[in-house]
Structure 1
C-alpha cells in the first residue's frame, strides 16, 4: 500500500522550526549534547550511548529520542517540545502514542530535512514509495557539486530536497522536480522549515521542465542497476541496466544554458572486454565537456546484498534469498562482472568538447565540488591557450610533492618509481619519468615550457617534445601545474 502524502502546512513547519531552535535541536546542538563517542556510536547504528546521554536533557533530549532514536516518548513531553500536537499528529509528524511518524533531523548549517523513517526505525522493510532521507549518496553528491553562483538551478528528482537545500546558498532561483507525490510533499516541508523558496513541479524525468534551460542541473537519480522494474521509487528507474544513467547523461545537456553545468551521480556496468570509459563516453551528445569520475566498482554479490539491506531486507530471509537469486541471475544473463559508481560533470559548449574518464578510487577528505569547478576552468584555459602552450610559464603548487621509490642495486640505490602526489583536493597522483621530473623542477614561474625543454636538451641530450606537451596538459587538468598570469 502506498503512503498517503503528508500535508505539513506552512504554519506547522514554522512552529516546528521555532521549537527546534528553542530546544537547540540543531546539528551542533545534538553533537554537543551527545558528545563525540555517543554521536559516533549513533552513526554506527548503536543508539544506547545516545539514549543515556539524553537523560535529563529536557526538550532537546525528548526530540533526539523521538526523531533520532525512534523511542516512544510520553505525550506531555512531546507536547512540551513541539507545542499543541493536533496538527502534528494529523500530518503524521508524530503518532498518537508518542512516536515519530516522519524522520526530521538536523543537517548542515542549522537545516532540517524531512523524510520517511528508515528501515531501522520502522522495524522492517520500507514501502515502495519510501522517501529516502540524508544518505551517503546525497551527501557525496552535495560535496561533489560546484557552488559557484548561478542564476537558475534545477534539482532533478529532488527526493526529500537535500540538493535544493544546498543550492539555496548559491542559486538565484531553484526548481525541484520528482515523479513521487510523497517526495514532493516531504521536500516542500523541508523547504518550508528552512524558509527556502523553491518551485516544485511534479512529473517524470525531464518532462516537467520541457523547453526550459538552467544554468546548473543537479541530479541524484534512481541509478540502481538491475532489471527494468520499479520496486522502490527512490532507487529504481524502470529502465534496464544502467539505462537511467545513460538517459540522463544523454538528455541533460539540452536543458542547460550555454556554458551551463550539470552534475549527477551515475552507475555503469562493467562487462568483460569492454572499457567502461568507452561505454559512458558513448552516452554523450555532441557539444559537451564531460568528466566521469569512477569512485568504486562493486561485484554483483556485494551490490545486491548492499541494496537489499538498504531497503531493510535481510539477504538471509526467504524474501532476501529469492530476490538475491533473481537479481544475480539477471547479472549473469547480461554478462555483467561489476557495477561502477561515480560522479559526472557536464558542461554545454559550442567549442571542441573535452571528455575525460578516470578512476579515483582512493580515499580523500576534501570535497570534490571545488575540483570539478577547477577542472572545467582548466579545460577552458587549455582550449583557449592550446597554440601558446609551449610559450606558457608554469609553477608547481606547494601542495605537489615528488615521491621516489628506490631499490638497492650494484651501484647503490636505483629509483624504480617517481610519483607526483598532490596533497590537497582529491590527491591526484601521476607517475613520471626522470625527464618529466626535471622539467617540473624548472617550473618556478621564470621560464616558459619551450625554454625549459631546450635547457634540458642542452644538458641531458635529445628531448621528446611531442610527448612533453600531453603530459603538461594532464598535469594542468589535475592542478599540478598552474599557469602564471601574463
Structure 2
C-alpha cells in the first residue's frame, strides 16, 4: 500500500480519536456487549445519532459495516479523501469498507498505546463464508497470545505466521528487532499497512512457509499462533490460509515445536498456541512431551480445553461459515470424522506452549498439564507468570528436602483461601487456595497445607513451620515434612508462594 496515503489515513484516525475507549463512550456498554455477540443494531443507532462527528462516521464505516455517502466519507477522512481511500482499497463505489481498520488498546514499552489493525472484512460484514485467502483480524486467540508474550526486554524476536501483524506490534514494544513471516503475500501487505498506521518500523517482513524465511538464523524469542486447525486432506473440504497450514493432523504444531530448537539461541524461549491429537495409542500431552524430548527442548505445556472429534469438527466447520443442520455441514462433518478415524484420533487438546532452548544455568523442564480456569480466557500477564515459574524451577531443581526446608516463603498477594463447613461442624470440610493471577489455579488443601501456607510470612523457614504444625496437629514431624515439601516446591513454581531472601 502507498505509504504516503497510509500516513494521511493515520492522521485522520488520530484526529478523530478513533480508539477503543472513545468508541465505547460513543455507543455505551450495552451496545458494546451486543457487538461482541454480533448484534450491531443498538451501536448503529447511536452512531447515526451522533451525525457528522468523524468518530461516528469511522465507526459506521469500519466497525458497523454501514455505507457512507460521499460527503460523509469526506468528513470521516478529510486528509486522505475519497480518492485516497479508493486508491488504498479501503472503500468501494457504494461507500462501504473493503478492509477492516480496527482500533486496539494495548500496553507497550512506554505505557498505554492505541493501535489500528488492518485486516480483511469478517463474516458478519461479508454476509457469508470467508474466502480462502482471508486475513484474520484481532480475535480472542490473538489477545491470548499477546498475553502469553513476556513483557521483559529482548533482542531479536521471530513472529512466525504474522497474519495482520498484531503479535509483531506487541513484540516490537519490547524488542530491538522483529522478523515477521507469513506464507500469504496478502497477509504481509496488510501487516505492513498495520505497522505504518502504528508508526512501527522495527519489523522486517519476509514471505515463506514457517521457518523457511529464517533458515540458519536464531532468535531470543519466538511467538506464533500457527495455522494449526486440523483439516481433512480431501477434495471438497475448504481450506483457509489463516487457519490451515497444509499438514496432516497436528503436524504443523509438531513442526513448529521441533523447529524452535534450531532457531532459538541458548536460553531463548518460544510462546505458542497450538493443538494436539489424542490417539488410541498415545495421550495427547504425552505426544507433545515426546516432541520436546526428541527436539532437546524444555517446555511447559498447558491444555486448557479438550474436544471430541465431532465437537472439534463442528467448531471449525461453523468457523468457515457453514451452518449446523445443512446438508453441507453434514457432508463436511463426515469428512472430518473419517479423517480422524483413519489416524485413530479420539480427541483434540488445545492450549499454550512455552518452549526453551536449554542454556547455561537451566535445568530440564518438561511439564505438561491440563488446567481448567476462567483466567485462561484472558491471558494477560500469563507470559511473565510462566517464565517466572520456569526460573523458579531452575532455582529449586538442585535443592533436596534439606534445602527446601530452610527456605523462607511468603504467600503471594493474589492468593485467597476459601473454607466450607457442614452446618454445625467444628472444622472445615473443604479448604481451597485460589490464585487471582497467573493461571488462576484453585487447589484443594488439607489442614496441614493450609496451615503452612497461612503461616508463610517470611519470618520462619518451611521446616520451622512444619515442626510447629506437627505439634499442633499431633502428627509425626518427619511424615509431615515428607508430605508438604513437594507441595511447597509446586506452590513456588506455580506462584502461590514467593521466596523471601
**TM-score over 0.5 for the pair:** yes
**Is 1:378 aligned to residue 383 of structure 2?**
no
* 1:238 matched residue in structure 2: 246
Distance 1:384 1:170, change over 3 A: farther
RMSD of aligned Cα (Å): 2.2
Deviations 1:321-346 (A, max 9, x none): 32122112222333323221111111
Structure 1: distance between partners of 2:302 and 2:394: 19
Deviations 1:337-378 (A, max 9, x none): 322111111122234311211222221256222322322222
Structure 1: distance between partners of 2:72 and 2:423: 72
**Is 1:279 aligned to residue 287 of structure 2?**
yes
**Is 1:214 aligned to residue 229 of structure 2?**
no
Question: Which structure 2 residues correspond to residues 475-486 of structure 1 after superposition, within 5 A?
Answer: 475-485=491-501
1:226–1:242 Cα contact (<8 Å) kept: no
Superposition deviation, residue 381 in structure 1: 2.3
2:149–2:171 Cα contact (<8 Å) kept: no
Superposition deviation, residue 389 in structure 1: 2.2
**Is 1:327 aligned to residue 340 of structure 2?**
no
**Is 1:85 aligned to residue 93 of structure 2?**
no
- What is the number of equivalent residue pairs in this alignment? 476
Superposition deviation, residue 408 in structure 1: 6.3
Structure 1: distance between partners of 2:388 and 2:447: 28
2:104–2:115 Cα contact (<8 Å) kept: yes
Structure 2: distance between partners of 1:436 and 1:58: 60
* 1:431 matched residue in structure 2: 444
Distance 1:441 1:194, change over 3 A: closer
Moved more, 72-81 or 237-246: 72-81
**Structure 2, unaligned runs of 5 or more:** 106-112
Residue 343 of structure 1: which of 340, 352, 372 is its match? 352
2:455–2:465 Cα contact (<8 Å) kept: yes
1:225–1:339 Cα contact (<8 Å) kept: no
Residue 313 of structure 1: which of 310, 322, 327 is its match? 322
Structure 2: distance between partners of 1:94 and 1:483: 57
TM-score by length of structure 1 reads 0.92
Structure 1: distance between partners of 2:453 and 2:127: 58
Superposition deviation, residue 113 in structure 1: 0.5
Moved more, 450-459 or 476-485: 450-459
Superposition deviation, residue 97 in structure 1: 2.1
Structure 1: distance between partners of 2:55 and 2:10: 13
Deviations 1:39-68 (A, max 9, x none): 221121111111111121422222111111
1:105–1:114 Cα contact (<8 Å) kept: yes
Residue 358 of structure 1: which of 337, 362, 369 is its match? 369
Deviations 1:235-257 (A, max 9, x none): 11111111111111121132112
Tell me the secondary structure at the aligned position of residue 54 of structure 1: helix
TM-score by length of structure 2 reads 0.89
Superposition deviation, residue 272 in structure 1: 5.0
Structure 1: distance between partners of 2:81 and 2:427: 76
Moved more, 292-301 or 270-279: 270-279
Tell me the secondary structure at the aligned position of residue 57 of structure 2: helix
Distance 1:398 1:112, change over 3 A: closer
Structure 1: distance between partners of 2:418 and 2:497: 16
**Is 1:395 aligned to residue 406 of structure 2?**
no
1:145–1:372 Cα contact (<8 Å) kept: no
